[in-house]
Structure formats: structure tokens, C-alpha cells
Amino acid sequence: MSRVCELTGKRAMVGNNVSHAMNKTKRKFQVNLLKKRFYIPEEDKWVTLRISAAALKTINKNGISATIKKAREKGYLTK
């Protein structure tokens, strides 16, 4: 399973490690993913999602139902 947020579509970015001598080697910036269970009252069920920490803050701000609806519109969540 790839490290992709199910609600925002965030995935790893590629960049460089830069030494003091300015030598550059490739590296990855991984997403801060969490496995979290949410209760959706409209559907009366629990769902488990792999989401980023930024998506968790968005859920706390807007609510789980609105966030899932927006993710389905953008095509990130197909369940």
C-alpha cells in the first residue's frame, strides 16, 4: 500500500540532502500518515482511514462529513 493520504491525495515529495560541502543526494519527504477511525452519523457506521496530519486538522475544523464529501468530489475517496 502506497503512502498516500486518502482524503487529500498527499504523497511523498522528492528533494535533496545537502551536505556542508554542498554535495547533493536524492531523498524523499514522506507524508505524516495516521491510521484513524471515524464515526459517520449520516451513514451510521465507523470507517478507518489513512490520513495525513494536515487532513486530521481539516476534519477537526470542517467535520468528517464535509471533508469526505469534498474528497469524493475530487476523486480521492472512492468508497
Domains of the chain, by residue range, sit at: 13-74
pTM of the model: 0.82
Q: Which of 6, 13, 18, 56 is nearest to 31 (CA)?
A: 13
Residue 6 CB neighbours (<10 A):
20
The tens digit of pLDDT for each residue in 19-73 reads 999 999 999 999 999 999 999 999 999 999 999 999 999 999 999 999 999 999 9
13-74 classified as CATH 3.90.180.10: no
Q: Radius of gyration (Cα) for the chain, nearest Å?
A: 16
| Band of pLDDT at residue 79, cut at 50, 70 and 90 | low
